[in-house]
Structure 1
């Protein structure tokens, strides 16, 4: 079951929901659009996508994925989410430098024994 925290706010990813390696991911609905906060590592992308789909009516689109910071457990799944939903990726400009270059050390992808492919950021804050 997907935890609904409040009206129009769900936890759709994280330990016990999509996997122990994923940071918590939240979905917020604003009218006919929704925003995903963080995207996990991407290792359980199909579970995260299923939770997003189960939380939103068909007429609500995922418009943005906002990344709280550049660590892999928050960002590794962002490209898969963008590909699935066509949403824009939003991150702070300082984090975007490491995301767009695929820096495995600063993003901590190397801590997970993984590699972060360069991730273009659509909107830099």
Structure 2
């Protein structure tokens, strides 16, 4: 974890860095309000900035996405998101991104690499990341998982919701997405606001608490 409410800024969702030996990838971008702190935390991991090739955006909300322009500027990386997330960001929609709540003006943003459907696989050095479509909290929400040394790690940002009509949330889809995440039987959960859960029994308990 290289960013989040207890590490960079209270307005930031958690930002995760996955090191895949030859390459590395970030998951989510925070609000950008404490970008210098995030850069310093990345530096402390000893992962070379030149290795960071992509940033996977789990959904369009401003606490996950507003830092994208700064990450692009400093790391020259490509942004990956679900097409439904990209559609919202490319219109700069302040309501559906929640930007108005944070007092942040979110400019229209282009996403470099998008996918449709349920699954999208990304090779990051020696690691394969699987992006799965998990709508509900937002129309374009995704989750990401990887398997390493027999351990399944799930990046399930905003599993807790909230489910709000002004964000175009959908409770039925959210519940279905939670059930899909349970079926992955992850050993470690990296969540967007509540931190990291392990072992598998704790991951299951946390997800089930919202069903």
Q: TM-score range by the shorter chain?
A: 0.7 to 0.9
Correspondent of 2:35 among 38, 45, 50: 45
Correspondent of 1:65 among 40, 43, 55: 55
Q: Which runs of 4+ in 1 moved over 6 A?
A: none
CA distance in 2, matches of 1:66, 1:27: 10
Query: Which TM-score applies when normalising by structure 2?
Result: 0.52
CA distance in 2, matches of 1:118, 1:53: 29
1:13-54 CA distance string (max 9 Å, x none): 101100110001100011121110001001011111111122
2:100 is aligned with 1:82: no
Gaps of 5+ in 1: 1-10
Query: Which TM-score applies when normalising by structure 1?
Result: 0.87
- The answer to whether the Cα contact below 8 Å between 1:82 and 1:88 also exists between their aligned partners in 2 is yes
Counterpart for residue 100 of structure 1: 90
Larger radius of gyration: 2
- The answer to whether the Cα contact below 8 Å between 1:70 and 1:98 also exists between their aligned partners in 2 is yes
CA distance in 2, matches of 1:56, 1:62: 12
CA distance in 1, matches of 2:40, 2:13: 17
- By relative contact order (CA 8 Å, sep 6+), the higher-ranking structure is 1
CA distance in 1, matches of 2:2, 2:36: 12
Counterpart for residue 6 of structure 1: none
Aligned pairs, how many? Answer: 115
Gaps of 5+ in 2: 116-211
What is the RMSD computed on CA atoms of the aligned residues? 1.3
CA distance in 1, matches of 2:84, 2:47: 34
State the SS of the aligned residue for 2:38. Answer: helix
